[in-house]
Structure 1
Amino acid sequence: MRASPLRGAAVSVRHAWAELLRLPALFTVPGDALSGAVAAGGRPNSRTLLAIGSSLCLYEAGMALNDWADRAEDAAERPHRPLPSGRIRPSSAFTAACVLTVSGLGLAAKAGRPALAVAAPLAATVWAYDLALKHTPAGPVAMAAARGLDHLLGAATTGGPRAALPSAALLGTHTLAVTTVSRRETQGGTSLPPLAALAATAALTGLLARGARGTKRAGSTGAGSTRARSTRARSTGVGAGTFTGPGEGAGPGIGGAASAGAGRRTPAHSSAGLTLDVALRTALATAYAATAGRPYTHAALNPSPPLTQRAVGGGIRATIPLQAALAARAGSGLTAVAIAALAPIGRKYAKKVSVT
């Protein structure tokens, strides 16, 4: 039985919007807020979910606005894109950008004043990048700032953005490298941007593998160790009562209620937990390095437009293992695993819709 013309048209429209909004790249967004929430010393909560919704809206607003602003350039260089091909009207893309921006700010307001205080400059940065800064030397810096602010948006829902500034800087550095490479994705011709991105990836991988400053190590004692242990318990939510010490309120863990005395960690348990933390952090850092490093290397050896575009796509996809590694670095293994689980979903949709 042949599909009806109306059904075919509806599928075509949905695919056009998926292209415009870069559907596979959407899965790189939730990890910003999730990793920011645990970097601030807390664990994701209902306000974090609202922050994720805000991030998704503002990110997609940027995608729609990007193609609206670049419609003349894309008509010459990428006529297959939704706007120059006529599959989506420019006015519809601009309206979508406006609606998504308002929705993103509204969700941030519901998450609380601290979240809105971060979402407002984030929205301003997105619009400034697409309308004024993209083709200037400040473009990559603006994009890096937007990704860093998105990370701090999650931090504003659990603690305070200041505590997440170091991890936001790492995420911003990665975004700066990817954006710098993307500026040559239609022309190619130079190895310098992918080489610089490769060097940045190597540096970030080393920092991720070493872990966060102040992370608990085997045999550590004193107030610093107590704070790290307390932060880890709040961040992971795994047996929150199990890992509390004397004087801290014992609460139910995953398997049910647990008394504080019965759940105290022995040195053997601490050593085993530390080994798992290191293994997870190392695995995620390695995944990040492989996802970004391989296409950067290919583009550096042959800076043609197709390989440069693949390098940009690899850099975008590498954002997910980077976010997961940042969560693991902050001591939240469960959050790290949840973020990492988004990667295969993004890859699945990337086979149907381009991530760039």
Structure 2
Amino acid sequence: MGLRLVTRLRDLVELVRAPAALTVPGDSLAGAASAGWPGSARGVALLPVASTCLYWAGMALNDYADREQDAVERPERPIPSGRITARTALGVAAGLTAAGVGLAAAAGGRTAAVTAGALAAAVWAYDLGPKTGALGAATMASTRALDVVLGATAGGGAGVRRSLVPAALVAGHTASITSLSRGEVHGTSTASARGSAVATAAVAAAVGLHSLRTSPNRASGVVTAALSGLYATTVLAAQLKAVRSPDGPTVRRATGAGIRGLVPLQGALAAAAGSPAVGLGVAASAPVGRWAMKMVSPT
């Protein structure tokens, strides 16, 4: 019985891509920093937990929705391999969605609850709708944008406007990575891989320009530059390899690098808002995430 329980827990960890959630708290922290840390410390602390629940819900729902395709392309995943039933995956997704919205409401009241509800709706729309094409990428990008905005709602809606630029930059990165990820199994075109590389360079440059406008002191500017440089170099290195060789395994590695690259990007945005220590703290989770994602694939 004990062994069976351990196996089931491991299967659930794989279902929700648990380690990949280390890329999530930085969204709401960047949003909270851009809004001037609104509300109580308890509220600010709860929102990353709410975001994580919604992220895990999306991962479980993704495998539920893609179970027939995965049976052909990725039979090792929990549902097609028979380790998790489709009904269980759907139940996990629903339960985590309810938990995420409830925690957001507890953290920031009506504004946070409405934002989390919109985020949950976008997650479900992406997973249950068509994932290919510009609409799919835009829907996925909206989930990360709303996640950043969620961090600004801890004290109500007063700081939401100041979170919109960081939200747009995270969304741009996410759309690029989502488009690239379509080639994880069968490969992609050189043009698609090149487009993702150009988008990464553009986001890094935009972070620098944003920092010039918002950084209140030299320390913030220096940390922003360092973290945006780390973001650009690590993500671009993998994407340029995909440009040269756009086969499935290379694209999969570039996608993984893009997912991990969210962390220094989030850190740079927090630093640009005047919270360099938070930015460095967010970035410091990257090595842990890289190690954990070797155990459980984030894609």
Give the structure-2-normalised TM-score.
0.94
In the TM superposition, 1:101-180 aligns within 5 A as 101-111=97-107, 112-158=109-155, 159-180=158-179
Are 1:47 and 2:43 an aligned pair? yes
Q: Find the counterpart in structure 2 of residue 36 from structure 1.
A: 31
Instruction: Measure, in 2, the Cα distance between the counterparts of 1:341 and 1:137.
Output: 33
Report the CA distance between 1:57 and its aligned residue: 0.8
> Of 67, 73, 78, which aligns to 1:77?
73
- Report the AA paired with residue 128 of structure 2: L
Aligned equivalents of 1:82 and 1:120: distance in 2? 28
Q: CA–CA distance in 1 between the matches of 2:252 and 2:90?
A: 25
8 Å CA contact 2:37, 2:44 repeated in 1:
no
Aligned counterpart, 2:17: 22
Larger Rg: 1
| Cα distance in 2, alignment partners of residues 282 and 311 from structure 1 | 23
Identical pairs, percent: 43
Q: How many residues align?
A: 295
Q: Give the RMSD, CA atoms, in angstroms.
A: 1.6
Task: Specify which of 78, 94, 98 is matched with residue 98 of structure 1.
Answer: 94
Which 5+ residue runs of structure 2 have no aligned equivalent? Answer: none
TM-score, normalised via structure 1 length: 0.79
Is 1:292 the equivalent of 2:235?
A: yes
Corresponding residue of 1:204: 203
Kindly indicate whether the alpha-carbon contact (under 8 Å) linking 2:140 and 2:175 is maintained by their aligned counterparts in 1: yes
Give the one of 10, 18, 40 matched to 2:5: 10
Q: Cα distance, 1:11 vs. partner?
A: 3.4
Matches within 5 A, 1:240-319: 274=218, 276-319=219-262
Q: Which moved more, 1:331-340 or 1:57-66?
A: 331-340
Q: Distance in 1 between matches of 2:278 and 2:188?
A: 40
Preserved CA contact (<8 Å) 2:183 2:247:
no
Shift of 1:213: 5.2
Does 1:195 find its partner at 2:190?
no
In the alignment, residue 114 of structure 1 is paired with which amino acid? Answer: T
Mapped to 2, the partners of 1:109 and 1:211 lie a distance apart of: 30
Aligned counterparts of 1:313 and 1:214: Cα–Cα separation in 2: 31
What is the CA distance between 1:7 and its match in structure 2?
Answer: 4.5
Distance in 2, matches of 1:129 and 1:320, equals: 22
For residues 133 and 165 of structure 2, what CA distance do their matches in structure 1 show? Answer: 26
1:211–1:281 Cα contact (<8 Å) kept: no
Matched to 1:63, the amino acid is M
Aligned residue identity for 2:70: D
C-alpha contact (below 8 Å) 2:180/2:188 kept by paired residues: no
* Aligned ranges 1:220-239 → 2 under 5 Å: 228=216
Quick check: which one's helix share is greater?
2
State the match for 2:287 in structure 1.
344
Q: Say if 1:288 and 1:321, in contact at 8 Å, map to a contact too.
A: yes
TM-fit CA distance, 1:8: 4.1
Q: CA deviation at 1:194?
A: 1.7
Does structure 2 conserve the Cα–Cα contact (< 8 Å) formed by 1:173 and 1:200? yes
Give the Cα separation in 2 of the matches to 1:329 and 1:284.
10
Per the TM alignment, residue 168 of structure 1 is displaced from its structure 2 partner at its CA by: 0.5
Q: Name whichever of 179-188 and 207-216 sits farther off.
A: 207-216
Deviations 1:209-235 (A, max 9, x none): 34435335xxxxxxxxxxx5xxxxxxx
Q: State the shift of 1:136 in Å.
A: 4.7
Structure 1 Cα separation of the partners of residues 13 and 20 of structure 2: 10
Is 1:333 aligned to 2:239, yes or no? no
List per-residue Cα deviations over 1:253-272 (Å, max 9, x = no partner): xxxxxxxxxxxxxxxxxxxx
Instruction: State the SS of the aligned residue for 1:318.
Output: helix
